[in-house]
C-alpha cells in the first residue's frame, strides 16, 4: 500500500508538471512575447504606435463592430432561447442546427457567403448600388461578418439553462394572468442572468478578435475598413514588428480582462445555484 | 384544428418572428446565395477546380496538420482535465482560467506571437534550431498554431464528465487489486471516451477552418504550407468567386459531416452526464 502511495504521488506531480509546462509554453509564453516585443524599443515608441491615427481609427471600428454584434446577438439570443425552450413546435431541431451553423463554418467561408450575397455578381448588387449602399469592402460588411461569427454565442449559453429550468413557473404565472414581459422580467431573467452575462463576455471576446471573415470583407483600406486585428496584420506584413506587437498588446489586455470577468461571472454563478 | 390553447406562455408569435427574421438575414439568406451560386456552376467545373494539384495539396496540408494538432490536444486535454479535476496545486484557478485564453485572444495576435517565438530568432525557435528543427514557416509551425487554437475544446468537454464520475467504481477496482494504469484504462477511460471524441471533433472542425493564426506562422508556400482557407482567400482576392465557392463546398461538406458525428456522440454523452 505504501509503495502504491509513493507511486501515485509521483504520477500526480508528473502530470501537474506536464500540464503547467504545456500551459506555460503554449499560452503564457506567447503573451509574454507580445508584451516584451511591444516594449522592445521603449515606452515612447510604444505610445507612438498605440496612439497612431490609424490605430485609433481601427480601435474605434473594432468597438463599433463589437457593439453591433453584442446588441443584435443579445436580441436574437433571448428571443431564440425563449422560443426554443418555452414552446413546442415542429422543426425545432432544424432551427437549432441552423443557429449553430456560423460557428461550424470556417471564418473565410463566412466571408465568402457575404461576398456572394452582396458582392458584384449578386442579384442584389444593382439594387444596393441604386440605394447607394456599400456592404462588401465597407463597414456594413465588417459589422455583418462580426455578427455572423458570433451569432449563436448568447442563445447557446441561455438554452441549456432555460431547458433545465423547465416551463412550470412561466405557465403558472401566465395562468395567473401575468403578461409576457412581466413573466420574462420577474421569472425567467433571474434564472438566466449569469448565463446571459457569460454569453455577452464570450461574444465580445470573439467579436473584437475576428480576423478571417472580416479580412475577406474589409478590402483593407487603412483608416476606413481596418479593425485592430487587421491593423496588426498589415503592420506585421510590413515588417513593422514593434508597432504590430504594440497594437496586439491592446488586444492582449482586452483578452485578459475578458478572462478575468469570465472567471468571476462563472464563480458567482456557480455559487448561486 | 386550432391548437392555440396548448400554449399557455405568451409571446410565441413575437419571439418566433424575431428569431426567424434575424436568422434569415444573418444566416439563411447568405447561405442560400451560396446554394444559388453553386447551382449556376457546372459539376465538371467544380471537379476541375477541386482537383487542381495546388488545391489537393492544400487539402492534404489542412487535414493532416489539423488532425495531428487535434490528436495532441486530445491527449493533453485529458491530462489537463484530469489534473484540474482531481488534484490541488498552487495557482490552480489561474491555470483553469488560462485554458480559455485561445477563445479570448484574437487569432491574429496569437499568430504573430507564436511566429516570433518559433522563428530562428525566437526563444523556442533558437532552441530547436540547434537540433536542426525548424518550426515557423513549416508544417510543424502550423501544428503549433492549431494546438494553441484547439486547447480549450477537449479540456472543456472532458472536465464536466470527470467531475460527475462516481469514485466508487475506481475504489472497488483498486480494492480488488487493479493497478492504476488498468483502472484508468478499464474504468475511467470508457466513461470519458465520448467526451474526448466530442472535444476532438470540435477541435478538428475549428482547426480545419482556422485562418488567422496559421497564415502568419505557415509561410504559405504552395504545395508545402499552404492551407485550404488561404487558397479560398486568394481566389477571392482575384475575384474568382467560382473557384472559391467550389473549394469552400468541400470544406463545408466536411464540416457538416463532422458536426453530424459530433452531435451523435454528444447525445450519447448527454445521457451519461444525466446519469441515464
Report the Cα–Cα distance between both ends of chain B, in Å, rounded.
37
Give B-chain residues touching A119 at CB under 8 angstroms: 241
Alpha-carbon span B119 to A231, nearest angstrom: 22
Global pTM reads 0.91
Q: Which helix (H) or strand (E) holds A258?
A: helix A241-272
Q: How far is B221 from chain A (nearest CA, A)?
A: 16
For chain A (length 273 residues), average pLDDT per consecutive 10? 64 92 94 94 91 93 96 96 91 89 91 91 83 88 95 92 88 87 89 91 93 88 85 93 95 93 86 74
Residue B118 is assigned to a structural domain of this protein? yes
DSSP state of A185: I
A194: number of Cβ within 10 Å: 20
Query: Out of B82, B112, B239, whose CB is closest to A244?
Result: B112
Gap between the Cα atoms of B63 and B69, Å rounded: 10
- Mutate which of B3, B4, B7, B11 to test chain A, going by most A C-beta atoms within 10 A? B11
In this complex, the residue of A76, A228, A230 whose CB is nearest that of residue B22 is: A76
Mean pLDDT of chain B: 90
Fold of A42-272: MetI-like fold (1.10.3720)
> Which has the closest alpha carbon to A153: A84, A97, A103?
A103
**In-domain check, residue B201:** yes
Between A97 and B210, the more confident residue is B210
Q: Which three three-digit cell numbers place residue B50?
A: 477541386
- Cβ A75 vs Cβ B14: under 8 Å: no
Determine the 3-state secondary structure of A51 from DSSP: coil
Per the CB < 8 A criterion, the answer to whether B151 and B196 are in contact is: no
Do the chains contact at A180 and B244, CB–CB below 8 Å? no
User: Given this model, what pLDDT does residue B2 score?
Assistant: 44
pLDDT at B176: 85
Q: In total, how many domains does chain B have?
A: 1
Judged on CB neighbours under 10 Å (0-12, 13-18, 19+), B174 is middle
Cell 442546427 locates to A97
The answer to whether residue B127 sits within a structural domain is: yes
So what's the ipTM on this one?
0.89
Residues 165-204, chain B, touching A (beta carbon < 8 A): 180
In angstroms, the CA A86 to CA B32 distance is: 29
- Mean pLDDT on B60-77: 96
Mutation for A interface: B4, B7, B27, most A CBs within 10 A: B27
The whole-angstrom separation of Cα A38 and Cα A50 is 10
Q: What is the pLDDT of residue B85?
A: 93
Contact A211 B7 (CB under 8 A): no
Domain CATH code at residue B242: 1.10.3720.10
Nearest Cα neighbor of A234 from A222, A251, A218, A250 is A222
Judge whether residue B108 has pLDDT over 90: yes
Separation CA B53–CA A206 (nearest Å): 34
Residue B48 lies in a domain: yes
Structural domain boundaries, residue B125: 40-274
Q: Is the CA virtual torsion A55, A28, B68, B204 positive or negative?
A: negative
Q: In this structure, are residues A150 and B103 in contact, taking their beta carbons and an 8 Å threshold?
A: no
State how far residue A190 is from chain B, nearest Cα, in angstroms. Answer: 17
Query: Is residue B14 assigned to a domain?
Result: no
State the burial class of residue A70 (Cβ atoms within 10 Å of its Cβ: 0-12, 13-18, 19+).
Answer: buried
Alpha helix ranges (H) inside A87-124? 92-104, 107-118
Backbone angles phi, psi at B122, to 5 degrees: -75, 165
pLDDT above 50 for B3: no
Instruction: Please write the tens of the pLDDT for every residue from B121-151.
Output: 899 999 999 999 999 999 999 999 999 999 9
Picking from A230, A174, A105, A89, the residue whose alpha carbon sits closest to that of residue B206 is A105
Q: Domain segments of chain A: what residues?
A: 1-38, 42-272
Query: Does residue B229 form part of some domain?
Result: yes
Residue B115 lies in a domain: yes
Three-class DSSP category at B203? helix
C-alpha span between A149 and A68 (Å, rounded): 12
Contact A241, A46 (CB under 8 A): no
Q: Contact A109/B209, CB-based, under 8 Å?
A: yes
Burial grade of A41 (CB within 10 A; 0-12, 13-18, 19 or more)? middle
Residue B1 domain-assigned (yes or no)? no
Dihedral angle at the C-alpha atoms of A87, B160, B75, A12, nearest 10 degrees?
Answer: 180
**C-alpha to C-alpha distances, A27 to A34, A58, A130, B104, nearest whole angstrom:** 11, 26, 49, 12
Amino acid at each position: 500500500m505504501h509503495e502504491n502511495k509513493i507511486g501515485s504521488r509521483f504520477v500526480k506531480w508528473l502530470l501537474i508538471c506536464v500540464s503547467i509546462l504545456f500551459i506555460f509554453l503554449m499560452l503564457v509564453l506567447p503573451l509574454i512575447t507580445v508584451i516584451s516585443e511591444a516594449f522592445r524599443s521603449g515606452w515612447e515608441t510604444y505610445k507612438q504606435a498605440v496612439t497612431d491615427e490609424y490605430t485609433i481609427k481601427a480601435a474605434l471600428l473594432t468597438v463599433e463592430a463589437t457593439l453591433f454584434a453584442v446588441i443584435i446577438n443579445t436580441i436574437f439570443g433571448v428571443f431564440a432561447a425563449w422560443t426554443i425552450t418555452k414552446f413546442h413546435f415542429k422543426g425545432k431541431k432544424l432551427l437549432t442546427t441552423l443557429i449553430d451553423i456560423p460557428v461550424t463554418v470556417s471564418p473565410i467561408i463566412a466571408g465568402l457567403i457575404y461576398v456572394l450575397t452582396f458582392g458584384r455578381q449578386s442579384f442584389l448588387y444593382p439594387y444596393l448600388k441604386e440605394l447607394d449602399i456599400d456592404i462588401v469592402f465597407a463597414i456594413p460588411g465588417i459589422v455583418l461578418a462580426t455578427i455572423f461569427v458570433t451569432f449563436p454565442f448568447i442563445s447557446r449559453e441561455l438554452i441549456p439553462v432555460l431547458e433545465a429550468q423547465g416551463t412550470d413557473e412561466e405557465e403558472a404565472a401566465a395562468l395567473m394572468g401575468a403578461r409576457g414581459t412581466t413573466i420574462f422580467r420577474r421569472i425567467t431573467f433571474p434564472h438566466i442572468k449569469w448565463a446571459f452575462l457569460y454569453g455577452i463576455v464570450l461574444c465580445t471576446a470573439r467579436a473584437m478578435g475576428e480576423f478571417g471573415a472580416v479580412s475577406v470583407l474589409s478590402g483593407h483600406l487603412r483608416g476606413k475598413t481596418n479593425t485592430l486585428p487587421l491593423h496588426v496584420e498589415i503592420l506585421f506584413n510590413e515588417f513593422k514588428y514593434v508597432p504590430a506587437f504594440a497594437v496586439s498588446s491592446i488586444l492582449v489586455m482586452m483578452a485578459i480582462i475578458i478572462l478575468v470577468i469570465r472567471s468571476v461571472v462563472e464563480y458567482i454563478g456557480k455559487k448561486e445555484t | 384544428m386550432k391548437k392555440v390553447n396548448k400554449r399557455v406562455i405568451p409571446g410565441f408569435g413575437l419571439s418566433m418572428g424575431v428569431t426567424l427574421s434575424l436568422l434569415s438575414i444573418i444566416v439563411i439568406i447568405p447561405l442560400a446565395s451560396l446554394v444559388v451560386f453553386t447551382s449556376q456552376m457546372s459539376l465538371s467545373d467544380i471537379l476541375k477546380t477541386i482537383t487542381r494539384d495546388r488545391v489537393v495539396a492544400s487539402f492534404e496540408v489542412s487535414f493532416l496538420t489539423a488532425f495531428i494538432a487535434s490528436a495532441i490536444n486530445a491527449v493533453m486535454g485529458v491530462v489537463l482535465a484530469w489534473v484540474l479535476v482531481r488534484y490541488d496545486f498552487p495557482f490552480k484557478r489561474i491555470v483553469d482560467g488560462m485554458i480559455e485564453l485561445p477563445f479570448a485572444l484574437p487569432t491574429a495576435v496569437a499568430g504573430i506571437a507564436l511566429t516570433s517565438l518559433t522563428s530562428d530568432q525566437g526563444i523556442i525557435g533558437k532552441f530547436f534550431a540547434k537540433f536542426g528543427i525548424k518550426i515557423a514557416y513549416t508544417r510543424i509551425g502550423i501544428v503549433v498554431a492549431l494546438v494553441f487554437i484547439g486547447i480549450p475544446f477537449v479540456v472543456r468537454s472532458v472536465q464536466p464528465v470527470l467531475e460527475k464520475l462516481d469514485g466508487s467504481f475506481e475504489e472497488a477496482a483498486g480494492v480488488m487489486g487493479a493497478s492504476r494504469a488498468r483502472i484508468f484504462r478499464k474504468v475511467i477511460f470508457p466513461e470519458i471516451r465520448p467526451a474526448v471524441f466530442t472535444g476532438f471533433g470540435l477541435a478538428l472542425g475549428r482547426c480545419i477552418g482556422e485562418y488567422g493564426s496559421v497564415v502568419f506562422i505557415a509561410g504559405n508556400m504552395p504545395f508545402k504550407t499552404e492551407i485550404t482557407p488561404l487558397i479560398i482567400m486568394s481566389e477571392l482576392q482575384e475575384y474568382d468567386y467560382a473557384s472559391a465557392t467550389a473549394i469552400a463546398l468541400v470544406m463545408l461538406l466536411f464540416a457538416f459531416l463532422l458536426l453530424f458525428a459530433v452531435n451523435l456522440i454528444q447525445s450519447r454523452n448527454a445521457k451519461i452526464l444525466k446519469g441515464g
